[in-house]
Amino acid sequence: MTALRPEREDLSGGGGPPYESHGGAPDDDGGAGRRSGRHAGRREDPPTAPMPVITEEPGGPRGPQEPAGRRSPGSPVPPVPGGPGALLPSADEETMALRIPGPPPAGWQSPPIRASATPSAPPVTGTSPGGRAARRRAAKRRGGRHGGARETAEAAERPERARPSSPVAGRPLSRVEARRQARLRKPGPAVIASRVIGEAFITTGVLMLLFVTYQLWWTNVRAHAQAGNETHQLQDDWASGKRSPGVFTPGQGFAILHIPELDVVAPIAEGVSTSRVLDKGMVGHYGEAPLKTAMPGAKTGNFGLAAHRNTHGEPFRYINKLKPGDPVVVETQDTYFVYKVTSTLPVTPPSNTSVLDPVPRGSGFTKPGRYITLTTCTPEFTSKYRLIVWGKMVEERPRSEGKPDALIE
């Protein structure tokens, strides 16, 4: 409003207590002191006009009356409430005007200012004195500005390392707990049995692998070395004249077999003993009864030979690839005997010794002659059946005349 306001006057002539800001009459000196302390420093409100007192006369009209204590023009100004000479208003009078609080009594102390009801931030622990830079350095030492919260989260995510028997990690175990953990660590019978079986299987597998390696690789290496030494020894003896054709003892070498199509050069020894002849990479001659066959220099007969197809030098491994007309040469001290392949018997039982007859059965020969028979095991890596290859002599050439054409080509 823009209307003028008269100067403040107390309705009761200065006898009523003035109101404080935001409150009624104080209940005691302490309440007035708290309010005065709470609103200390605030600007005082300007005085307002006194409200008219409404009185009602019996039987008369009701209307506004002049408030008591209004001074007339020219009357002296009453003393200011709270000032020198002012009268203290009574505590039970009411007024709509604002009141100016009086001075606090002697010896009264203002209570501490209380915080508002707004929730405050939690107190910061571990604050380092020295300002913001010191607090930052302290936070870095703790692992960052939020190091405490990070460490708490990591501790919550870290798995529990303590055993059920030792709930507190790092605490020494008692005897009962130590025995219990020792029993838990001790393997049971089932675990021990499974370990033994597993180790047995592993050992068996390793031994089988070593055996296969020995059979397929090492026996060939050793047999090739032995057969090569025997071949060189025969050639040296023939050059020096130490050996002559005749009767040979079992295991004694007397000739060299050449199969040009298979690139085979192997010594021929008397007999078909596995340990003394065949396992050494040599070709054995059926020279003992009851499977005795003719020698290459005989006028008629069947020159029977045997050798390994697999392992121990395997000189007859690929004789199944020989075709009719392929040459087979037997070299002795003074003669080259040249044979031509005529036929092959892929499979026959080991008991079929008729393939070594002077006129081999199933070979296609019908009359006596000078034949050669090669025998080996089949299928590969087994000895269940025998593979037979037959040939017929086509040339006898003295060594003095040089090598035959089959060896030159």
pTM of the model: 0.55
Residue 381 region by backbone torsions, left for phi larger than 0, else alpha for psi between -120 and 50, else beta: left
Q: Are 361 and 306 in contact (CB under 8 A)?
A: no
401 lies in a domain? yes
Query: Does the annotation mark 377 as catalytic?
Result: yes
* Nearest Cα to Cα of residue 313 among 194, 216, 209, 205: 216
> How many residues comprise the chain?
409
Q: Is the pLDDT of residue 11 over 70?
A: no
Top pLDDT among 201 and 80 is at: 201
287 lies in a domain? yes
Count helices and strands in the chain by DSSP H and E runs = 7, 10
Q: Are 229 and 370 part of one and the same domain? A: yes
- Give me the domain span that covers residue 286: 224-408
Lowest mean pLDDT: which of 79-83, 135-139, 197-201, 215-219? 79-83
Q: Are strands 53-55 and 63-65 parallel, antiparallel or unpaired?
A: antiparallel
HEC secondary structure over 237-256? HHHHCCCCCCCCCCCCEEEE
Among 77, 103, 129, where does a domain finish?
103
Cα four-point dihedral sign 389, 393, 399, 401: negative
Which pLDDT belongs to residue 40? Answer: 45
Lowest mean pLDDT: which of 75-79, 106-110, 140-144, 341-345? 75-79
Q: Are 232 and 367 part of one and the same domain? A: yes
Supply angle C-alpha 320, 378, 222, rounded to 5.
90
Q: Is the pLDDT of residue 97 over 50?
A: yes
Residue with tokens 């006129």: 359
Tell me the C-alpha distance between 342 and 328, whole Å. Answer: 11
Q: Are 99 and 229 part of one and the same domain? A: no
Q: Does residue 159 have a cis bond before it (omega within 30 degrees)? A: no
Q: Which helix (H) or strand (E) holds 396?
A: strand 385-398
Tell me the C-alpha distance between 91 and 86, whole Å. Answer: 15
Please report, for the domain that includes residue 353, its CATH number.
2.40.260.10
259 lies in a domain? yes
Per residue in 16-38, pLDDT (tens digit) is 444 444 444 444 444 444 444 44
Q: Are 241 and 374 part of one and the same domain? A: yes
Cross-strand pairs, 375: 306, 388
Top pLDDT among 299 and 14 is at: 299
Q: Is the pLDDT of residue 180 over 90?
A: no
Residue with tokens 């499979």: 347
Q: Are strands 283-285 and 385-398 parallel, antiparallel or unpaired?
A: unpaired
Which pLDDT belongs to residue 247? Answer: 75
Domains contained in the chain, number:
2
187 lies in a domain? no
Q: Is the pLDDT of residue 304 over 50?
A: yes
Tell me the C-alpha distance between 180 and 183, whole Å. Answer: 5
Give the pair of three-digit tokens for residue 23. 């409150």
Query: Does the annotation mark 308 as catalytic?
Result: yes
Cross-strand pairs, 373: 304, 390
Tell me the C-alpha distance between 98 and 82, whole Å. Answer: 13
Tell me the C-alpha distance between 197 and 217, whole Å. Answer: 30
145 lies in a domain? no
Q: Are 269 and 285 in contact (CB under 8 A)?
A: yes
- Share the mean pLDDT of the chain: 75
Residue with tokens 């692998």: 209
Among 53, 86, 103, where does a domain finish?
103
Which residue out of 258, 285, 312, 377 is catalytically annotated? 377
Q: Are 98 and 230 part of one and the same domain? A: no
Which residue out of 258, 285, 308, 312 is catalytically annotated? 308
